[in-house]
Amino acid sequence: MDESSIWEEVLKNLQKELGESEIKTWLEPLTIGELRGDMITLTAPNKFYKKWADDKFLVYIKKAFNETLGIDADVTVVVGGVKRTSASEGTKKQSGAPVYGHKNGSGLNKDYTFENFVVGGSNEFSYSACEAVSEGQFMQYNPLFIYSGSGLGKTHLMHAVGNRILEKFPKMKVLYITSETFANDMINSLRTRKMEEFQNRYRTIDVLLFDDVQFLSGKQRTTEEFFNTFNALYDNQKQIIITSDKTPAEIPDMEERLKSRFSWGLIADIQAPSTEEKTAILMKRAEFMGLKLPGEVALFIAENMMTQNIRELMGALVRLSAFGSFHKRSMTIDLAKEALEKFIAKKDKVVSSEEIINAVCKYFGVKLADLRSKKRTKSISFPRQISMYMLREKQNMSLQEIGSIFGGRDHSTVLHAVNSIASKYDENKEIQLIISTLEKDLYS
């Protein structure tokens, strides 16, 4: 049995311990680099795969080798040696011409780089995937689909990928575009009868960075064009990166055939940053702005700003800088309190997660046991979603922590509940009234 056949048998044995998606995503890309007695070396395509294999799967891999070969395997994972279409090979085929109808790299913000992106537990997964793509691991994660709430850094990462690729592989054709621009471009092309030019514009590139795909929902003609563009690029082994505020499955009014294609590659999320991460982000941005921001002031803003949105944090920093400059005062916590008074959470009363859940139960007249149960009737599921939303927004609890409170629900279920309320909040007066009433009862 050759090494390839051995690895296939190992993967089959791994199915007893791991799910199909885990094996397909993390283990199938590995290969046997060397097999010498009971010493086995696996080759990973990059350090991202190596880390996940070492941290998450090594014990299962060893067990599967033992079952396959009848040995006490000593397994090591190393990086390199996997034959893939490299970026350098890909660029040899490029003409070096600009993107058809666009200046190459048009739309990219040069200020968004990997160097000024703060990496933490909330975004490490997405960051590592983007970095791998930008270093030339094309088609490895294709498409790369990144989702998160608004203002958490997915657009920054997308621009960082584009900037890094143009830096390392200047002959590659990179295009960043939003779904709104794509839709408007298509409408204008239809009106002026220049659809062939439109199609050439988007189907003759090497890397497509497509932001906020969820806004294609319900736009049948635009979705059809994007579907065909996606297929053309994918079939020609061109890299596609897509962002959304929802998982593919959660995007409403989107064709299933397109949702399924979004799932062909890697789906990665960005969660709300922790207080420590927000502090680091503020310090990094202040350094970029040439602003001397004391650490204790950054921590105060991170702890007290009523937002998880990084763009709003950046706006607060600009306001603080302008306020200090106008009044000729140095950066202090007192200055931050004055400058950001309208945006600082009042902490007159500390409210626990239990108090929030009990307040929701009282408001809706439901039992706590029902909220934690598997019941999915609207009379139970809606209060449950409100509870999860408030725990996320008011307590800054992680998705895992919230899930454990509600009967061990998983990360994706909690995220769906939180996003469901958040997406309706601005337009739904009933939800606004419920939240404001609960806040008044809890915090006044």
- With CA atoms as reference, report the closest residue to 42 among 53, 31, 26: 31
Which of these, 250, 289, 271, 218, lies nearest to 396 by C-alpha position? 271
One domain for residues 255 and 288 = no
Residues 47, 63: one domain?
yes
Same domain, 216 and 358: no
pTM for the structure as a whole: 0.57
**Residue 306's pLDDT band (cuts 50, 70, 90):** confident
CATH code (residue 308) = 1.10.8.60
Domain span at 322: 275-343
- Residue that is last in its domain, among 44, 79, 114: 79
- Is 285 domain-assigned? yes
pLDDT of 88 reads 36
Least confident of 205-214, 340-349, 435-444: 340-349
Ranges of H-type helices in 105-219: 124-134, 154-168, 179-191, 195-203
- The amino acid occupying position 311 is R
Pick the closest to residue 281 from 135, 151, 134 (CA basis).
Answer: 151
Same domain, 241 and 332: no
Residue-level pLDDT at 349: 59
Overall size of the chain counted in residues: 444
Is a pLDDT exceeding 90 seen at residue 228? yes
How many structural domains is the chain composed of? Answer: 4
pLDDT tens per residue across span 366-421: 999 999 998 889 999 999 999 999 998 888 788 888 999 998 898 888 998 998 89
* Residue finishing a domain among 79, 105, 122: 79
| DSSP reduced 3-state for 40 | strand
Cα gap 191→186, rounded to integer Å: 9
Identify which has the larger pLDDT, 37 or 385: 385
Amino acid identity at 125: F
Q: Same structural domain for residues 26 and 96?
A: no
Residue 307 pLDDT: 76
pLDDT computed for residue 361 by the predictor: 95
Does 406 reside within a domain?
yes
pLDDT at 346: 56
Whether residues 61 and 98 fall in one domain: no
Are 153 and 253 part of one and the same domain? yes
Domain end: 316, 343, 370, which one?
343
Same domain, 56 and 117: no
In CATH, what number is assigned to the domain containing residue 55? 3.30.300.180
Instruction: Report the number of secondary-structure helices (H) and strands (E) in the chain.
Output: 21, 8
Question: Does any domain span residue 348?
Answer: no
The verdict on 11 and 151 lying in the same domain is: no
- Are 100 and 163 contained in the same domain? yes
